[in-house]
Structure 1
């Protein structure tokens, strides 16, 4: 919703008594309207459908409990159903009237009178009503992010399957460390992303609790049926303590999970960004996810990866900003119990997952360059050390010194790994440990072969072929479970929505 449209509505003429007029002697200052009311209404209008759902459920419960009459409830519900059919942008708003709760009331007053429409707010506060709306909104956004996360996981897993046997250098300290498998590398992110899905699911569980009926702070004397609104709105349970109805730590949970997802995306994007450079040339973004330079004709810039990395930067502050806001409040001011930047966090995470899905689906992997970069590499030196320990019974630390000296000597003499002989290895062994190993030249070269290195990895989770196949299967099972989780959550919400409408229609009929 644009501020301009709200401003236009603000200037409209209204004859009803505004809520603030009963207590305040002056109308809201134009600056207050501009900087407080309008931004709040813009945010709340994005939650239009959640506002309507809460009003429908609360009014239905009031009628069922005999708190308001059937005739009154019917009149209110008929108007709420009419509002429900509107587009959010078509709903009339006057910023002078206050929050969206008061905008809804104003609409009812104009249609059925304040004496009838004003009964909808019986037994509730803007505090618990707003908290309920925000929880409904957050759970829907969480499910949307989960959908994008599952799609991204599918793209990552498919590339991992294609490259389950693609050997590349593995790096630590930006230096070649050991042979790696590109599919295994991608599967490490599959595991991380599943952990992030679980964090979102845990956050969803804390978000999806019903604060409606906690009222402002201490509950109410009205005989509300909180279990009924929990059922009608699809919550999994109650916010049990009435003081906690206004709290927004559930939003902090959600935004923390979103931050982890952005960290996952940043790490993967950073590696691919580096590896797509001319110096590495291991991967390449498809032209459709790249840009060009206005001055350098040869440039093909991986702008999609840069966009993801840039978006991930502010994500490290999301949780801190939320908790810092809460710290300013203590237990006195519920207005501080909101996370104003959560919309940005949801939108950023969802859009970057979508963008990265396209990048991964079209990613070009240069197998030949990966293989070429292993030639002349000493990244199998640790395997040579293991072979010596196994064959000669020396301690690993002793052998580490021997192999390190052998590498040092070869580098100094301009020799590549395939020129390391048993004699040269013995020379290094004698220099450092006073021993001769007497391995065959064949054994030395086999120990230094990158493909043989990969083939001999047997520990759980390693880059060995059988382990990569197992990890692929494990990742598939996790993705299936994640998709099932979202499906069950949406089915539950669809069922509760049908239940709500059936209850409303029954009262209106």
Structure 2
């Protein structure tokens, strides 16, 4: 039982089945660099308040660095009886330094130690994810120059609705991912408070300096309540909830491009590097990467549900259930990271099939709403204009013509307010020029937004 941090109370060895059941080293080993970072800061603080000597601090920190290098090089042996990465590192430190290593855990518990390690991991992961979101936004903004003259049909209910500039489409995704980025920034702010010093749940009688530990680890504040610290996993739930929203946005984008990649749409070409083939149908090129981005969103959404369910009934303060929080967090983080990396690469390399898009651009009466608004400007009540244009569309369908191909006589038979200038707003290219409201998809407003996004990207560089 001497191998156990809690072994002094027990006289019977742990059942091997319990060893296997309770270990977490199989998944929390990735916290090693953060555990070492936290332990070095803790040792420095202990030295400064006189609980260990400066020489002991130096020995502890130097040995922790050596252990960290061995772990990074894959030269460190893990044993399930040591349960987790925290005990592995502490046991190895003690083996190498004796009683000096035994002093490291002074004034802390695994409860606040684990919380600190996970917050350090989360802070690091958030910074990486923010960079990846910005890379994806930059990929969309870079497309704006390439596709500046392209007009696309925009859809509601997956039915052709109104025309927009292609750039308007790209910036729509930038806006969604910007909200994702801002949520992560907010999450980082709430994550960035230091748990160390809460110990098991009630703090400690030792003269530790929590503010100093927080300063050494780059935390902006000290978490206020030791009971709350021991039980708090809000920061993990918030983080994975943010990732779930990112995954949903990625899934929606992937679904759209999967449709655009079909023969029926044929709006976009995706390089071979990001598609796969069929084992039986030699002609196939499948958008498997996009399909997996869409599919992997389920894992992230499930991780969110996992954490909410895990924590919903836990009393204060720490409960061993919380060991299970890391698996969904790690998986959600790794999944979204991989999806964002590939999404940016696909956005950068795909090409719009402009000739195909243009060949069908006038289908679907994309200028109908602009015609209705033309009538409103002529003094026709909106609902009357809506009904009038609906009847004109029905007439066009019967005669197999477009609105721009109707004679003025037929327009005026439907509404006497229509004049010769109606042809200036009909047809997709004319209709799109009519959009002038702030945030709309017309050329002028889109150009304004492109300029704003380019400036934003430049300022981040």
Corresponding residue of 1:503 = none
Q: How many angstroms does 1:480 deviate by?
A: 4.4
Corresponding residue of 1:313 = 298
Aligned match for 1:261, one of 246, 255, 267: 246
TM-score by length of 2: 0.94
Residue 49 in structure 1 maps to residue 49 in structure 2? no
Q: Counterparts in 2 of 1:386-401, with a 5 A limit?
A: 386-391=373-378, 393-401=379-387
Superimposed CA distance per residue, residues 207-229 of structure 1 (whole angstroms, 9 cap, x where no aligned partner): 12110001111111111111111
Aligned match for 2:450, one of 463, 466, 472: 472
Q: How many angstroms does 1:146 deviate by?
A: 1.6
Residue 233 in structure 1 maps to residue 213 in structure 2? no
SS of the residue 1:169 aligns to: strand
Corresponding residue of 1:295 = 280
Corresponding residue of 1:112 = 97
Q: How many angstroms does 1:135 deviate by?
A: 0.7
Corresponding residue of 1:271 = 256
Corresponding residue of 1:281 = 266
- Aligned-partner Cα distance in 2 for 1:459–1:465: 11
Name structure 2 gaps, 5 residues minimum: none
Corresponding residue of 1:428 = 414
SS of the residue 1:374 aligns to: coil
Residue 70 in structure 1 maps to residue 54 in structure 2? yes
Corresponding residue of 1:439 = 419
- Aligned-partner Cα distance in 1 for 2:141–2:63: 49
SS of the residue 1:176 aligns to: strand
Corresponding residue of 1:187 = 171
- Aligned-partner Cα distance in 1 for 2:217–2:458: 27
Evaluate the alpha carbon distance shift between residue 339 and residue 104 of structure 1 in structure 2; reply closer, same or farther with a 3 A threshold: closer
Aligned match for 1:142, one of 112, 126, 129: 126
Evaluate the alpha carbon distance shift between residue 348 and residue 227 of structure 1 in structure 2; reply closer, same or farther with a 3 A threshold: same
Query: Alignment RMSD, CA only?
Result: 1.9
Superimposed CA distance per residue, residues 73-127 of structure 1 (whole angstroms, 9 cap, x where no aligned partner): 34333322322332343233332133322222321332222x3321111111010
- Aligned-partner Cα distance in 2 for 1:315–1:77: 37
Evaluate the alpha carbon distance shift between residue 206 and residue 120 of structure 1 in structure 2; reply closer, same or farther with a 3 A threshold: same
Aligned match for 2:78, one of 79, 85, 93: 93
SS of the residue 2:286 aligns to: coil
- Aligned-partner Cα distance in 1 for 2:167–2:401: 31
Given that residues 151 and 164 in structure 2 are in contact (C-alpha distance below 8 angstroms), is that contact kept between their aligned partners in structure 1? yes
Corresponding residue of 1:496 = none
Superimposed CA distance per residue, residues 386-425 of structure 1 (whole angstroms, 9 cap, x where no aligned partner): 112212x110111111110111122123333333122222
Corresponding residue of 2:394 = 408
Given that residues 227 and 316 in structure 2 are in contact (C-alpha distance below 8 angstroms), is that contact kept between their aligned partners in structure 1? no
Name structure 1 gaps, 5 residues minimum: 1-14, 430-435, 485-509
- Aligned-partner Cα distance in 2 for 1:144–1:71: 36
- Aligned-partner Cα distance in 2 for 1:17–1:458: 72
Q: How many angstroms does 1:162 deviate by?
A: 1.8
Given that residues 392 and 403 in structure 2 are in contact (C-alpha distance below 8 angstroms), is that contact kept between their aligned partners in structure 1? no
Corresponding residue of 1:385 = 372
- Aligned-partner Cα distance in 1 for 2:71–2:8: 32
Superimposed CA distance per residue, residues 177-234 of structure 1 (whole angstroms, 9 cap, x where no aligned partner): 1111111111011111111111111111111211000111111111111111111111
- Aligned-partner Cα distance in 1 for 2:277–2:48: 64
Q: Counterparts in 2 of 1:165-184, with a 5 A limit?
A: 165-184=149-168
- Aligned-partner Cα distance in 1 for 2:219–2:32: 18
Q: How many angstroms does 1:71 deviate by?
A: 4.0
SS of the residue 1:86 aligns to: helix
SS of the residue 2:440 aligns to: coil
SS of the residue 2:360 aligns to: helix
Corresponding residue of 1:11 = none
- Aligned-partner Cα distance in 2 for 1:339–1:55: 20
Corresponding residue of 1:352 = 339
Structure 1 runs (4+) greater than 6 angstroms displaced: none
Superimposed CA distance per residue, residues 16-43 of structure 1 (whole angstroms, 9 cap, x where no aligned partner): 5533432233322222222321xx1122
Corresponding residue of 1:462 = 440
Corresponding residue of 1:4 = none
- Aligned-partner Cα distance in 2 for 1:164–1:133: 47
- Aligned-partner Cα distance in 1 for 2:450–2:359: 26
Number of aligned residue pairs: give it.
Answer: 457
- Aligned-partner Cα distance in 1 for 2:278–2:69: 48
Given that residues 420 and 445 in structure 1 are in contact (C-alpha distance below 8 angstroms), is that contact kept between their aligned partners in structure 2? no
Aligned match for 2:18, one of 28, 32, 42: 32
- Aligned-partner Cα distance in 1 for 2:255–2:79: 47
Given that residues 169 and 373 in structure 1 are in contact (C-alpha distance below 8 angstroms), is that contact kept between their aligned partners in structure 2? no
SS of the residue 1:318 aligns to: helix
Evaluate the alpha carbon distance shift between residue 82 and residue 417 of structure 1 in structure 2; reply closer, same or farther with a 3 A threshold: same
